[in-house]
Amino acid sequence: MNIKKPTIVVFGSTGTVGTEVLRLLSERNCLVRGVIRTPAREVPIKLNGNNNNVTYVSVDLKSKEQIKRACTKADFIFMLTGTSPVQTIFETNIIEVAQELDIKRIVKLSAPVVPNDIYVEVSDWHRQIEKKLASSGIEHCFLQPHSFMQNWERNTFTIKYFGKIYGVMENAERNYVDSRDVAEVAVKYLLLEKDLKGESVVISGPEAISHESMAKRISHVTNRKIVYENITREEFMRKLTKQAKLPLWLARHIVEIDVLAVKNPEPKNDTIQNILNRKPRIMDAYLQETRYSFMTMKWNLPFKKMISNKKL
């Protein structure tokens, strides 16, 4: 493929992975067009005159006409529209527009393949989209990361205020990968000089970790006791939907991936080193970096005393 300075459209440019993809591409020899869902959305890289290779366009993903305008004169697409029940519609729209515009390459962020005897609804959505892209005639690959370290930020409320992690994962272990490593893999395949062959790229992190181990690690970085409490599926669903107010599909997904880890042992070694030729980021470093997300903000006593004694 001989495109010296490609134009790349990044769908999902404000998400955890997409933001990093956008940032990394902004530092490379390419033009980057970040897609945002609403015109008023705050953008991850400010347009201040120093990032002249980055632009944004707001798109309603239900509208093929708007997608078409966003992808006009583009070469490659990074496709990540966010997990939701309408993801298959959105990403199918993007693929069909890409066919019409003769887009050369699509790198899709997907999900690992699960065994046939285990049901994970979100994985089914990704398989449907993969099948559509595979039959499109567009050069492509599928990135299939395991669980993101950053997904632990979903658990901050119960950790902060109750000192607990809830789940149905028992003593099973889950493989975690840093979303920034996933973004680097995405950029590698977006800018690869040889043609993509429709491969599925499994992205795993450096170790598989149990919820019990996570509780101990978070206890260490927050300097307070955190415990893991294994509960029934029914109770977990009730906590997720009634207390956390999550939509039913997302609560169901969280339960399903816990069950998946129990029934299908996850890898204990990373694929990052072979893909990127460097070691992966590790969980303990991520927890140190984000430790305040898991802590309640309390007055520092000497500071409080200083303030109370200050003359106004």
Residue ranges of the domains in the chain?
Answer: 7-148+177-203
CB hemisphere CA count around 96 (13 angstroms) = 12
In the beta sheet, which residues pair with residue 192? none
Exposed/middle/buried for residue 258 (C-beta within 10 Å: 0-12, 13-18, 19+): buried
pLDDT tens digits, 31-74: 999 999 999 999 988 887 766 789 999 999 999 999 999 999 99
Strand order in the sheet with 31-36: 54-58, 31-36, 7-11, 76-79, 105-109, 139-145, 200-203
| 65: number of Cβ within 10 Å | 10
Q: How far apart are CA 211 and CA 168, in angstroms?
A: 10
Q: Which CATH class is domain 7-148+177-203?
A: alpha beta
| pLDDT bucket at 306, cuts 50 / 70 / 90 | very low
Q: Say which residue, 302 or 94, is predicted with more confidence.
A: 94
d(CA 215, CA 43) in angstroms, rounded, equals 34
pLDDT greater than 50 at residue 305 = no
As a whole number of angstroms, the distance between CA 54 and CA 15 comes to: 16
Residue 276: count other Cβ atoms within 10 Å of its Cβ. Answer: 16
Give the pLDDT score at 303.
Answer: 34
Q: Name the strands in the sheet holding 208-210, side by side, starting at the edge strand that comes first in the sequence.
A: 147-148, 173-177, 208-210
pLDDT per position as a tens digit, 276-292: 999 999 999 999 999 99
Q: HSE on the CB side for 257, CA within 13 Å?
A: 19
**Closest to 98 measured CA to CA, from 140, 62, 57, 131:** 140
pLDDT score of 304: 37
User: What are the residues facing 229 on neighbouring strands?
Assistant: 166
pLDDT at 123 exceeding the cut of 60: yes
What's the chain look like in SS3? Answer: CCCCCCEEEEECCCCHHHHHHHHHHHCCCCEEEEEECCCCCCCCCCCCCCCCCEEEEECCCCCHHHHHHHHCCCCEEEECCCCCCCHHHHHHHHHHHHHHHCCCEEEEECCCCCCCCCCCHHHHHHHHHHHHHHCCCCEEEEEEECEEHHHHHHHHHHHHHHCEEEECCCCCEEEEECHHHHHHHHHHHHCCCCCCCCCEEEECCCCEEEHHHHHHHHHHHHCCCCEEEECCHHHHHHHHHHHCCCCHHHHHHHHHHHHHHHHCCCCCCCCHHHHHCCCCCCHHHHHHHCHHHHCCCCCCHHHHHHHHHCCC
- Whether residue 312 has pLDDT greater than 60: no
Q: What is the pTM of this model?
A: 0.92
Give the residue, 1 or 271, on which the prediction is more confident.
Answer: 271
State the pLDDT confidence band at 2, using cuts at 50, 70 and 90.
low
Q: Is the CB of residue 74 less than 8 Å from the CB of residue 33?
A: yes
Return the pLDDT at 3.
Answer: 66
pLDDT tops 60 at residue 225: yes
Structure tokens at 295: 């802590």
